């Protein structure tokens, strides 16, 4: 006992006389240097003691032989036994603090939460274990593994991807029976971060960490965004990787199909205008009003051209080219989307087809639709959709039953321009078709009239079929295996591409067959079937 006491006194005196002043100054210097570099500790007292412990460790290694014996009395004071690999303690007071922050942004939540709790919040291993319902050994193991991962990351020359500073733009088309109750998919697709996640993961299964680095978004935030996109059925999660769940057409595929369409669209459009003019003239010759009596022919042509295109494009498609119905989505949505990378092709405005949802299940459906022309911002002149009550009111006006309609809905339709007040009441301003009337009209035509129309229609279908075959081949070859092997997704990718309404519309305007000026009806494209 006396020998041990003498040894203790000797070592104490030696430390005080030879080392204490130097060590104290060294610790103080390290604390001041760290503060000057911008370190702001969460718990100042705990932070100071960590620096003191680290500096003592470094000092001891310099002053003593590595093989010098040490009593075991201090070993159990440490909860984590791998002090030699404890890079976090060292980085707290060095210029590598920025790298530590970087690596914490890219480490998985299982490890990150424990590292933050231990080093930032100064919780003990036992406290962390209790809060996470883990064993003490599990926490120690994860903390050790986290240190190794952080050290590996520190040694890497990480670089953010191009999308981190140059996000890519992408266009979408959506076909639907109904949107989600929160406006999906458009409320999702309008966000730049979602667009670029979907682009990066398209045909390129990626981990959350890879996506995080490519987009320059810290992993805690990226994990939440990925979880949301999976819930909304826009990403597929396989194992630890994510992949986009719908087709996105490359610029290359779009440019090839456009080059083909550019050659054939002028002739195709002139065949369509010949067909519509011929059909309308034959109807007039036999006293038939094929588009109703509420629009001039010049205004009605906007609807007739698009309806003719849709009908013949569908009939020209081989069996299996078109997917029937749309995919059911969360929050009551039923829709499908296709993405389009920016391509070196003319920016030709879209022509969409909108209508009204059947909100009132106690009321009959209304066959109201409207072609929405992006050309010259025509689409902004009317609502995106009519509510079911508005469509029911419009139908009543078309049928001459406006007196039974509620004033509120009548006023809304008047403000939109779908109806107008007359000397005797109200009447619609839209195109009105009779269901199944086309066959009855044809029976009234002469053989010569029918032959001329049928020959033109056959020529149109032949051109559309050839264009579809070409586009289908290009598009399917462009799709990644995960999309191309799925029949529904393959059809969705093709259905929205190839020769479409917008090309024919723009050519008809270029040819002067369609004219848009201040005399044009504000509700062109709107029609109803009775």
Class of domain 162-245: mainly alpha
Q: Residue 77: what pLDDT?
A: 38
Q: Give one word for 118, left, alpha or beta, with left for phi > 0 and alpha for psi -120 to 50.
A: alpha
CB-based contacts of 497, cutoff 8 Å, min separation 6 = 249, 254, 257, 338, 471, 475
> Domain segments of the chain: what residues?
2-63+82-154, 162-245, 251-529
Phi, psi at residue 259, to the nearest 5°? -60, -40
| pLDDT at res. 518 | 92
Nearest to 215 by CA among 178, 261, 167, 253: 167
Q: What is the DSSP letter of 239?
A: T
pLDDT for 80 equals: 44
Q: What is the reported pLDDT for 437? A: 86
pLDDT value of position 219: 86
Query: Where do the DSSP E strands lie in 422-518?
Result: 426-428, 431-433
504 vs 459: CA distance, rounded Å: 16
Residues of the chain below pLDDT 70: 1-102, 153-159, 165, 318-324, 358-360, 496-498
pLDDT score, position 57: 64
Euclidean distance between CA atoms 376 and 525, whole angstroms: 14
pLDDT at res. 359: 67
The answer for residues whose C-beta is within 8 angstroms of residue 252's C-beta and 6 or more apart is 343, 478
Predicted pLDDT at 141: 87
Q: Say if pTM beats, i.e. exceeds, 0.85.
A: no
Q: CA end-to-end span of the chain, whole Å?
A: 110
What pLDDT does 3 receive?
57
The three-point CA angle 300-407-518 to 5° equals 30
Q: Report residue 472 as tokens.
A: 């289908």
Walk across the sheet containing 235-238 and list its strands: 206-207, 241-244, 235-238
Q: How far apart (Å, rounded) are the C-alpha atoms in residues 480 and 253?
A: 13
């Amino acid at each position: 006992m006396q020998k041990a006491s003498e040894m203790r006194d000797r070592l104490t005196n030696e430390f005080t006389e030879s080392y204490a002043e130097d060590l104290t100054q060294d610790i103080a210097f390290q604390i001041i240097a760290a503060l000057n570099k911008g370190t702001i500790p969460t718990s100042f007292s705990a932070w100071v003691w960590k620096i003191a412990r680290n500096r003592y460790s470094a000092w001891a290694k310099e002053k003593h032989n590595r093989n010098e014996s040490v009593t075991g009395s201090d070993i159990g004071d440490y909860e984590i036994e791998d002090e030699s690999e404890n890079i976090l303690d060292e980085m707290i007071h060095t210029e590598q603090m920025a790298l530590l922050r970087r690596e914490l942004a890219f480490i998985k939540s299982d490890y990150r939460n424990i590292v933050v709790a231990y080093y930032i919040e100064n919780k003990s291993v036992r406290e962390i274990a209790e809060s996470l319902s883990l064993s003490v050994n599990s926490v120690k193991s994860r903390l050790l593994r986290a240190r190794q991962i952080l050290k590996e990351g520190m040694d890497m020359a990480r670089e953010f991807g191009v999308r981190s500073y140059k996000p890519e733009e992408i266009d979408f088309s959506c076909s639907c029976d109904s949107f989600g109750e929160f406006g999906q998919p458009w409320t999702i697709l309008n966000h730049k971060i979602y667009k670029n996640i979907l682009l990066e993961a398209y045909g390129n299964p990626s981990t959350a960490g890879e996506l995080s680095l490519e987009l320059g978004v810290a992993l805690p935030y990226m994990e939440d965004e990925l979880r949301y996109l999976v819930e909304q059925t826009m990403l597929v999660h396989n194992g630890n990787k994510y992949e986009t769940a719908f087709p996105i057409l490359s610029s290359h595929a779009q440019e090839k199909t456009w080059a083909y369409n550019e050659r054939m669209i002028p002739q195709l459009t002139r065949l369509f205008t010949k067909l519509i003019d011929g059909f309308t003239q034959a109807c007039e010759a036999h006293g038939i009003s094929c588009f109703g009596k509420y629009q001039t022919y010049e205004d009605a042509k906007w609807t007739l051209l698009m309806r003719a295109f849709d009908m013949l494009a569908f009939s020209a498609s081989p069996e299996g080219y078109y997917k029937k119905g749309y995919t059911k989505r969360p929050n009551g949505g039923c829709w499908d989307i296709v993405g389009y990378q920016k391509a070196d092709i003319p920016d030709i405005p879209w022509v969409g087809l909108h209508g009204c949802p059947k909100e009132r299940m106690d009321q009959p459906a209304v066959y109201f639709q409207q072609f929405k022309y992006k050309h010259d911002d025509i689409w902004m002149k009317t609502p995106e959709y009519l509510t079911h009550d508005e469509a029911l009111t419009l139908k009543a006006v078309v049928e001459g039953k406006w007196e039974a309609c509620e004033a509120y809905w009548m006023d809304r339709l008047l403000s939109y321009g779908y109806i107008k007040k007359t000397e005797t009441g109200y009447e619609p301003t839209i195109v009105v078709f009779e269901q199944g009337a086309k066959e009855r009209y044809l029976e009234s035509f002469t053989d010569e009239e029918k032959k001329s129309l049928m020959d033109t229609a056959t020529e149109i279908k032949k051109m559309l079929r050839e264009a579809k075959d070409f586009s289908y081949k290009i598009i399917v070859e462009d799709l990644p295996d995960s999309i191309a092997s799925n029949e529904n997704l393959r059809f969705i990718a093709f259905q929205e591409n190839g020769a479409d309404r917008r090309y024919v519309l723009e050519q008809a305007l270029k040819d002067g067959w369609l004219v848009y000026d201040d005399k044009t009806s504000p509700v062109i494209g709107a029609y109803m079937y009775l």
